[in-house]
Amino acid sequence: MSVRPSILVVDDESAILDTVRILLKNSGFEVTVAQGGRAGLDALDKAQPHIVLSDIRMPGVTGIDILKAAREKDPDVPVILMTAQAELRTAIEALNQGAFHYIQKPFGNDDLLAICRRAAEHRQLKAENKTLKQEIRRRDRSQSVRPLGKSKAFSEVMRLAETVAPTDSTVLIQGESGTGKEVIARYIHELSARADAGFFSINCGALPESLLESELFGHMKGSFTGAVRDHEGLFAAASGGSFFLDEIGETTPATQIKLLRVLQEREMIPVGGTEPVPVDVRLIAATNRELEDDMKTGRFRSDLYYRLNVIAIHLPPLRSRKDDIPVIADAVLRRLAAERRGEPKRLAPEAVDAIMAYDWPGNVRELENALERAVTLTRGDEIAAASLPARVTERKASPLVSERPHANPTLDAVERAYIMFVLQGEAGNKTRAAEVLGIDPSTLYRKLGRYEGET
């Protein structure tokens, strides 16, 4: 085992305890002894041993009682029973109840050591198998929730997500509504060491402040009208796992102060409570707002922003990663077919052209809804463009910048025109354009997204 195997020895004879303790300790075991069955039961809780070695025949609490108690606490613990010739039948019956082995008294030191070492190897094997199974399940789960896309921009998002997933760092995912921020958050969780614990999420913009605080931090009985019992809250429920706070930019300053305490002190105080409660969660937050702008206006606390923005992931809108549209569309059509127990429908060439030409202001969510509508309206195997929403097939492109600007353009209009001028000069390459402009690529994406929404 990676650490010294610990063994609990239970017997009512002190001479046997002393002999076995010295033998096992000198052979590399960490030994705890308990004289009598009652002391053995108490030691099970305190020692939490890897292996239990117990005499069968003891007054009051027998070795069979020790066996049952040990396996209730830890089904994987090997229990070895020491028995006299007269108790041989009892020992054999104990094997049927889950005992690992038995050894007859008097026994040779080498025989006892051989059985204890086999028990340690058995315990290690079970632990390694359990770890391997957990890794396989974790990999399968992560693949089942793996976000879809093949574009360069999306591949960069995935690389960053996979890099930060094994850490416990706080992550802030920024992107327009419908881009799949929660999908990225779930993927990070499934690749993390917390994957076997829960993934909890809440939309901070969907609840009023008083209810949001109660859901996040819990409340004490009588803390407000209707609080008829204690409520632990999602931070407590998510202990050991990951907590996804969607639309965190919609929180009020009062809630932001409490969130800051969670991040700084790793503790919270329930509504109506006075004692802090420890918090053990990996926090992943998301927003479609420009939090940097909100900081300037005082709408969002700068100290909370910097605590959240340890690892920033910008999820580009679908219109800036059109290579991902066919990949996502294919996955959606396959999922819909599985849900309806049929064969996947395919998009006609003109339908493919339509979804590739459309800018998808609602991003992945809008694409999914449009395809579900099309599948529902299509009776055959091929989805015609006419089955797509009219806005997808009839949308006319409009320029981001007017060819006839105002006589006295605003600073925003000048900035927009310059950004488009540089972008055109760089043949649409946003990374190089951002370098020329002297801004972060994520800032350029956000500005272009805002311009698109204003057209």
pLDDT tens digit sequence for 413-429: 778 888 888 787 777 77
Domain ranges of the chain: 6-128, 145-316, 319-394, 411-454
CA 385, 390, 396, 401 torsion: positive or negative? negative
pLDDT of residue 145: 62
Asked whether this chain's domains 145-316 and 319-394 adopt the same fold, the reply is no
Q: Find the range with the poorest average confidence among 162-171, 338-347, 392-401.
A: 392-401
Does the pTM exceed 0.75? no
pLDDT of residue 454: 62
User: What is the average pLDDT across 115-126?
Assistant: 91
At the topology level of CATH, where does 319-394 sit? Helicase, Ruva Protein; domain 3 (1.10.8)
Q: Is 87 exposed, middle or buried (0-12, 13-18, 19+ CB in 10 A)?
A: buried
Contact residues for 330 (Cβ-Cβ < 8 A; gap 6+): 344
User: What is the average pLDDT across 205-222?
Assistant: 86
For residue 398, what pLDDT band results from cuts at 50, 70 and 90?
Answer: very low
For the domain covering 411-454, report its CATH number.
1.10.10.60
Q: Which CATH superfamily is domain 145-316 in?
A: P-loop containing nucleotide triphosphate hydrolases (3.40.50.300)
CA 377, 383, 384, 386 torsion: positive or negative? positive
Q: Which CATH superfamily is domain 6-128 in?
A: Response regulator (3.40.50.2300)
Number of CB atoms found within 10 A of residue 307's CB: 18
